[in-house]
Structure 1
């Protein structure tokens, strides 16, 4: 008996007496009916490759291994993809590119043994779940809008309750009570629940992760109607924003950011105009810069810059904040010319629109000065940095009495953090002078003026 997921429905059909009955099922609850349960895993990689080469003899061992990896050794997909490739002249590399974009009726071929295409099978499975286990169906759809692979349970539980109710077209219990839906999907072998050491000390972090096969993830996501898709994406973004520790400079939070970053692309966060979601983008860029994840940070920064220029406009304050984070990542990657062009655009606009002591303008000018130094244009860099130093002197030192003498510990703390840009600028001037001095022994030494109290010479 194949595909017998409900023991009650076929109980009276199982023969009695001597002999054995073989039942295949996704439901692990069969062991409650005095039946020996044997888990059937996916193929191992050697089995997958051997099966593919038997099904599609034109495949080399390397090509069969690549295809096995792409479908994660799932036997049904191995059969249907190999059948498609065997009748096609398309290269494996081109076919894998098709699979990454979309899996549908045009990218698989059914066999006489099993006439349902993989996407059709999962569309039918999702419809059955909606009818019989609506909460489990909703959870499965929610998981399909996070990134494939392991999904922290706390991300799913962070989806706003009102959005879940709208998605379910009916009342939904608190997400923290979704244990029943998780267990239902586990019993049907649709998801796997793993426990790992918690990445934080938060009480809400249980260290539990949901895992969904990548191709199942894709099939379920594609089966969601277009009118519902946007709602699921918005709900996912809100959950990710809620999971943001909001402290990217705190190394104790980096493990949490390491879990957030892979989710950003799947949720398409850079197309959101919600302030909390945009703040999540800033914090992830800050984390990637500090953690040294420059290539991934540059990719996210470039994607966000392209989208936000159209979404917000090139003169929006949040766009300038984005260029600041993106510029630091480009500069750290050695992309000095790209950074200089971008920083100059922000600098020229802010110089026209803001005062000479506006902190956003000063930040843009400071970035441009760093670009000029990195490009070896030391005279220009030094000239701009000296102007910046004088501006920071006016902004920070001449007003320090308002900050340093503010009553209470918090006032002193704020005053200290307002001096940080000036301290960083001192360091930058020293670097310009040091580099320039190495080039010309006759370059005069520059002594920094007093900035806060009594400063030692630079």
Structure 2
């Protein structure tokens, strides 16, 4: 054994140890018996009894595959002169392994390195008393208080010592145990609030660090698969370590591991290969959840609800402004003080990040919370609550309506997660169908029909199963699905679906209903895409006439029909008729919708094309505007 180090060969990544074999106390190479503690297993060398020149080492074993963290380690060294340095971050982020690595890198700078588990403040004095006895400062019969008092005095008079308080929760728990001497104190904590102390935030691995650790632990992994695993684990160091260790020791491939992580994370993290860290990580999070539920049940309920959202920032206004959409026990978060208490404790315990009025829960504790909810029978109710909350928060009229897009951008990831096919949606078909349909419409109107297509199809299938073929929501989804099929180039399926939807709407709603007219409008668009301009013209003329009668000449949908009819006429060679209808629609759109509305821009683009075909350069209806019509020259409008 190296006389300056005890190495138990625990793997990389950091976090808490769990039940590994402990080394015996060593004195001049003679084994004198083990200590009855999990962490404070130490040895000293340099004399027949402890003295000022003895080396005493009681740190956790150095990880044999430590990755990255060079800048953070350097910053710890730079803060050594401040006596106390705090590493803070969420559970599983690797705070403890960084402390071990720092102690090992600077082992020649210290004669004493002493590890003090600090989750339970009542146990701290005993751990310090053990150090006092190891230094020969007290007799075996002296009390713990006497031992800690003598230790504090002794450490103020000597240097070259490092105390590591691991997983401390509150500054007041350590206030009496931080010697002011010339040594160094390193604290690991979830709590970022250590006022007056040098604090260093520990972040997740970079993607490159995650891939390096994964491929190092499991060389059979490709960098692409390692990156997929890292993404699914949110680059959380302990979880990354577990994945590498487990895959290296099993026949589980990347896809199977990710499925297990989604469906059974609590069981997955107990299968640890040759690494004990993730078991301790799971236990650490379980204990943290239990403490939070006991100390602040409302904050725990907020966290449990967030676990069913995406691992992206959740605007606090989502919880604050819509209490009626929340489960009954959570409606109290509308109260400013109660909500502030929730945010404070979640931030203080690093259970959720608090950034710019948003809360964010990491995907690994979120997965563990979902598993916990499932075991408690709360999964379906929490999943449904998220659906109701998002449904209440998001505007419906997103198509060609930029004024409604603002709320969708930050909440879209949560909508996509909440409506994922693996979630329990059968109990909330109305909300889930609406969210899928509206999210797809938002994506399509923002120019992403490929991303919108599967969401529209899922909305249609879900609504048809839940409500039947003739239900208004089912027909609406059928209409939207057919539109996106046209946009992705599947014209024949789009035509078939439009024709079926139009027949059902005419039968159930009548020929003049706005939904029936939407189906007729969209069928004409598909016919136009298929080159059937004569048939499209017939449908567009009928729809334009009905919309003028039902909605009025200046309504946006009427103007859309005018734009489509003008496109048919242009393709049939009736250029003057196309120009006349488009010019009138352009004037009305500018007055009713404004110059910058998407429909105005589309109509202007088409009008410019028609004028060009006639050899004209500008619409004669605007002789004093001094600007050309704007828009996409190829745009025909969509007629939603």
TM-score range, shorter chain: 0.7 to 0.9
Any idea what SS the aligned residue of 2:353 has?
Answer: strand
Q: 1:305 aligns with which of 429, 451, 460?
A: 460
2:411 counterpart of 1:251: no
Match of 1:132 in 2: 295
Any idea what SS the aligned residue of 2:293 has?
Answer: helix
Q: Mapping of 1:287-306 within 5 angstroms?
A: 287-306=442-461
Q: 1:91 aligns with which of 233, 239, 253?
A: 253
CA–CA distance in structure 2, aligned partners of residues 140 and 2 of structure 1: 30
Any idea what SS the aligned residue of 1:296 has?
Answer: helix
Q: Mapping of 1:275-424 within 5 angstroms?
A: 283-392=438-547, 395-396=549-550, 415=552, 417-418=554-555, 420-424=556-560
Match of 1:105 in 2: 267
Q: CA deviation at 1:218?
A: 1.2
Distance 1:434 1:172, change over 3 A: closer
Q: Mapping of 1:25-174 within 5 angstroms?
A: 25=167, 27=169, 29=171, 33=175, 37-106=199-268, 108-109=271-272, 111=274, 113-114=276-277, 116=279, 118-119=281-282, 121-158=284-321, 160=323, 163-166=326-329, 172=332, 174=334
Distance 1:271 1:134, change over 3 A: same
2:437–2:455 contact (8 Å) kept in structure 1: no
Structure 2, gaps ≥5 residues long: 1-114, 129-147, 156-160, 179-184, 186-196, 588-609, 611-640
Q: CA deviation at 1:58?
A: 3.5
CA–CA distance in structure 2, aligned partners of residues 45 and 388 of structure 1: 54
CA–CA distance in structure 2, aligned partners of residues 112 and 5 of structure 1: 22
Q: CA deviation at 1:117?
A: 6.4
Q: How many residues align?
A: 415
User: TM-score scaled to structure 1, two decimals?
Assistant: 0.77
- Residue by residue over 1:206-252, the C-alpha shift from the partner in whole angstroms, topping out at 9 and shown as x without a partner, is xx121222122111111113631222122222321232245534424
2:572 counterpart of 1:436: yes
- Residue by residue over 1:360-418, the C-alpha shift from the partner in whole angstroms, topping out at 9 and shown as x without a partner, is 2222111111111111222322333334344445x34xxxxxxxxxxxxxxxxx74554
Q: CA deviation at 1:431?
A: 1.3
Distance 1:47 1:325, change over 3 A: closer
CA–CA distance in structure 2, aligned partners of residues 47 and 428 of structure 1: 54
1:105–1:119 contact (8 Å) kept in structure 2: no
Q: CA deviation at 1:334?
A: 2.6
CA–CA distance in structure 2, aligned partners of residues 6 and 378 of structure 1: 78
2:528–2:568 contact (8 Å) kept in structure 1: yes
Distance 1:209 1:390, change over 3 A: closer
Distance 1:3 1:234, change over 3 A: farther
Distance 1:59 1:424, change over 3 A: closer
| Structure with the higher fraction of residues in strand conformation | 2
CA–CA distance in structure 2, aligned partners of residues 106 and 392 of structure 1: 59
Distance 1:113 1:273, change over 3 A: closer
User: TM-score scaled to structure 2, two decimals?
Assistant: 0.57
CA–CA distance in structure 1, aligned partners of residues 170 and 368 of structure 2: 23
Larger radius of gyration: 2
Structure 1, gaps ≥5 residues long: 196-207, 397-413, 438-443
CA–CA distance in structure 2, aligned partners of residues 67 and 149 of structure 1: 18
Q: What do you get for the CA RMSD once the two structures are aligned?
A: 3.6
